[in-house]
């Protein structure tokens, strides 16, 4: 039995940076980690690549030969991988016993409309890989209520489509207000408990046409009815938030019930944070750190 993470999300969400940071964190904690690049558009990886889809098929060659654009080329590459999973199996057979991080493409349609990523994940499960899908979303979308509604819909659609254990992450939480102040506290965006309140807030905007207000109300009502979407918050440079996300991921794929790092993780985190796990009502603490300029300056100074 092998464990790992399927790291997905839209372009710019920080998937490759997450794989790099998480692999370093896990290595320091004592896990043997291997990162597999399954993004054909990613040809400059900051981490050590254990297996690279570019050895199987290259996006540039597909686009040139078949006269496809970037999106069509990516779909072709992932369909080609699905039909040649024996290549992936051979690579993974040489990584037995390692914790796996799969860096996947950023094309959203692959997770919301297409079947190939789901089929690849299901085949890996048949090969006894216990995986958690880690869905990264750039936290700056929280500053725009309409964009956040769109984020919720994409996230829910992805969860329903992939049919895998799923952990949603607001990445770059240290930059959450880089594009404007949030209308609500950070906990509102991580817990996603009262989305109709968000819809009412959007409807109160005088620039919003009434029809769009009703549409947002219907969409937010849908989110409340499903009540599936919540987020962890992550600053890739803050090991406490990294450990918090990892705790949720480990519970989702069952790793926490088997192999444990024990003393090495405690030494890495320190006694104050070694047993801390993410709870969605802890957002107020992160809000004080990342939405308060003075507190943020103190945090950055402590990391130097």
**58: exposed, middle or buried (C-beta count within 10 Å: 0-12, 13-18, 19+)?**
middle
Q: What phi and psi, each to the nearest 5 degrees, are found at residue 290?
A: -105, -10
pLDDT at 204: 87
Q: What fold does the segment set 2-192+229-303 form as a domain?
A: Rossmann fold (3.40.50)
Q: To which residue do tokens 């464990």 refer? A: 3
Band of pLDDT at residue 214, cut at 50, 70 and 90: confident
pLDDT at 83: 96
**Helix spans in the chain (H):** 15-29, 59-66, 70-83, 85-93, 109-112, 116-126, 145-162, 186-191, 195-203, 210-226, 239-253, 263-269, 283-290, 293-303
Q: At 235, is the secondary structure helix, strand, or coil?
A: coil
Contact 198, 143 (CB under 8 A): no
pLDDT, average across residues 237-248: 92
pLDDT at 92: 96
pLDDT at 269: 66
Band of pLDDT at residue 276, cut at 50, 70 and 90: very low
pLDDT tens string 3-31: 999 999 999 999 999 999 999 999 999 99
pLDDT at 271: 46
pLDDT tens string 165-199: 999 999 999 988 888 888 888 999 999 888 888 88
Q: HSE (CB half, 13 Å, CA atoms) of 20?
A: 11
pLDDT tens string 53-85: 999 999 999 999 999 999 999 999 999 999 999
Partners of 52 in the β-ladder: 37
pLDDT, average across residues 197-203: 88
pLDDT at 294: 56
Mean residue pLDDT of the chain comes to: 87
pLDDT tens string 139-167: 999 999 989 999 999 999 999 999 999 99
In angstroms, the CA 37 to CA 88 distance is: 11
Domain boundaries, the chain: 2-192+229-303, 195-228
pLDDT at 78: 96
Q: Is the pLDDT of residue 104 over 70?
A: yes
Q: To which residue do tokens 């006269």 refer? A: 67
Q: 3-state SS string over 34-94? A: EEEECCCCCCCCCCCEEEEHHHCCCHHHHHHHHCCCHHHHHHHHHHHHHHCHHHHHHHHHC
pLDDT at 287: 78
């Amino acid at each position: 039995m092998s464990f790992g993470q399927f790291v997905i999300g839209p372009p710019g969400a920080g998937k490759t940076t997450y794989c790099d940071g998480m692999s370093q964190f896990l290595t320091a904690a004592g896990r043997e980690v291997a990162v597999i690049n399954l993004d054909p558009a990613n040809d400059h990886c900051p981490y050590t690549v254990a297996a690279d889809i570019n050895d199987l098929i290259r996006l540039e060659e597909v686009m040139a030969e078949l006269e496809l654009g970037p999106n069509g080329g990516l779909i072709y590459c992932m369909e080609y991988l699905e039909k040649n999973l024996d290549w992936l199996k051979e690579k993974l057979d040489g990584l037995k016993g390692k914790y796996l991080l799969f860096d996947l493409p950023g094309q959203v349609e692959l997770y919301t409309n297409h079947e190939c990523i789901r089929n690849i994940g299901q085949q890996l499960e048949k090969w006894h890989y216990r995986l958690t899908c880690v869905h990264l979303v750039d936290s700056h979308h929280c500053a725009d209520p309409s964009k956040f509604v769109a984020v919720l819909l994409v996230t829910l659609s992805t969860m329903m489509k992939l049919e895998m254990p799923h952990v949603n992450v607001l990445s770059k939480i240290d930059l959450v207000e880089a594009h404007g102040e949030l209308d609500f506290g950070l906990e509102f965006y991580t817990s996603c408990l009262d989305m109709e309140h968000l819809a009412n807030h959007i409807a109160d905007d005088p620039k919003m046409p009434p029809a769009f207000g009703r549409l947002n109300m219907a969409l937010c009502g849908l989110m409340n009815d499903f009540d599936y979407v919540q987020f962890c918050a992550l600053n890739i440079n803050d090991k406490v938030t990294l450990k918090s996300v990892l705790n949720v991921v480990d519970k989702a794929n069952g790793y926490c019930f088997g192999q444990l790092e024990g003393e090495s993780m405690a030494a890495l985190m320190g006694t104050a944070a070694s047993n801390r796990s993410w709870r969605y009502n802890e957002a107020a603490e992160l809000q004080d750190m990342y939405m308060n300029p003075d507190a943020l300056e103190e945090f950055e100074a402590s990391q130097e």
